[in-house]
């Protein structure tokens, strides 16, 4: 198995430089499904990340909420989850941030898996699948491009093993996840591993312990969703998103050495800076 060490994002990221005559419809029409009561912030973080990393239109489908607008980010469009899954204009879907494991959440996972949309599955979306053999089979045989983004504990549930087994051999774990579910895999953690084909594992080198707090996975999902919908391949969007997310924390640490307190909300702006500095570096 070949291992590609990521010390920079893929050069394909530079294809996101925009020509003069373009419009929002050319940069992705994406949706985030999640945000059960008590966890609405997770879906909003993912949506804000997708918006700031360049997606043309970003929709949010909250499971149960009277929120009609995100006053901190009014560009986000609110709708019901089912309508978003059924909306043919939406091509890329992220399900899982703040989803919960309710009956409605399980129904929405099933509907998403049976849709023709490019799909990212995270958080409780993965926990639901781990406990349902029918959904596991649906994921394995899904025709549209799909990527799962487990942290080590979620990976252990998906493989029905102990957490120690995942952490003792992370490369073996990401290979097993890829083979078991027949889709792209991002195994999060220190030196995140990415796999979307059977012959290469990509290992990230950016990031640090400042990312050890709530909401970071939601932001990462939104970043990858945005880059993917703007035209990058699944593997280039995944590698770029993981690298930029880590680099955001590295940028923060350059001014806050060994300090704590970096929030997921702050990472969004830092990741946007990392993206723009890579595709259009300033000349001193």
Is 134 marked as a binding-site residue? Answer: no
Is 98 marked as a binding-site residue? Answer: yes
Is 190 marked as a binding-site residue? Answer: yes
Is 188 marked as a binding-site residue? Answer: yes
How far, in Å, CA of 9 to CA of 21, rounded?
26
Residues with Cβ within 8 Å of 14's Cβ and at least 6 positions away in sequence, in order, are 278, 279
How far, in Å, CA of 267 to CA of 262, rounded?
7
Q: Looking at residue 17, what DSSP letter applies?
A: P
String of DSSP letters for 124-186: HHHHHHHT-HHHHHHHHT--S-EEE---HHHHHHHHTS-HHHHHH-HHHHHHHHHHHH-SEEE
Q: 215-239 burial string, b = 16+ CB within 10 Å, else e?
A: bbbbbbbbbbbbbbbbebebbbbbb
Is 49 marked as a binding-site residue? Answer: no
Is 218 marked as a binding-site residue? Answer: yes
Is 217 marked as a binding-site residue? Answer: yes
Is 56 marked as a binding-site residue? Answer: no
Q: How close are the terminal C-alpha atoms of the chain, in Å?
A: 41
Is 66 marked as a binding-site residue? Answer: no
Is 214 marked as a binding-site residue? Answer: no
Known binding site: residues? 42, 98, 151, 188-192, 217-218
Known binding site for AMP: residues? 188-192, 217
Known binding site for (6S)-NADPHX: residues? 42, 98, 151, 218
């Amino acid at each position: 198995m070949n291992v590609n060490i990521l010390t920079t994002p893929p050069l394909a990221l530079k294809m996101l430089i925009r020509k003069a005559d373009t419009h929002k419809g050319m940069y992705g029409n994406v949706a985030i499904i999640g945000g059960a009561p008590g966890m609405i912030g997770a879906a909003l973080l993912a949506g804000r990340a997708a918006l700031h990393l360049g997606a043309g239109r970003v929709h949010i489908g909250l499971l149960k909420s009277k929120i009609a607008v995100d006053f901190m980010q009014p560009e986000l469009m609110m709708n019901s989850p089912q309508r978003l899954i059924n909306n043919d204009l939406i091509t890329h879907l992220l399900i899982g941030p703040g989803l919960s494991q309710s009956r409605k959440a399980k129904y929405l996972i099933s509907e998403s898996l049976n849709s023709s949309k490019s799909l990212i599955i995270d958080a409780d979306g993965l926990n639901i699948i781990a406990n349902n053999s029918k959904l596991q089979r649906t994921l394995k045989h899904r025709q549209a491009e799909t990527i799962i983004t487990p942290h080590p504990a979620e990976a252990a549930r998906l493989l029905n093993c102990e957490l120690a087994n995942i952490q003792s051999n992370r490369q073996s774990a990401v290979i097993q996840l890829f083979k078991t579910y027949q889709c792209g895999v991002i195994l999060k953690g220190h030196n995140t591993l990415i796999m979307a084909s059977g012959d290469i594992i990509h290992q990230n080198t950016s990031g640090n312990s400042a990312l050890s707090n709530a909401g970071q996975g939601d932001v990462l999902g939104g970043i990858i969703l945005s880059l993917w919908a703007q035209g990058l391949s699944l593997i280039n969007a995944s590698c770029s998103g993981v690298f930029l997310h880590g680099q955001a924390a590295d940028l923060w640490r350059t001014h806050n050495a060994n300090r704590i307190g970096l929030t997921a909300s702050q990472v969004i702006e830092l990741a946007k800076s990392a993206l723009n500095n890579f595709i259009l570096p300033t000349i001193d």
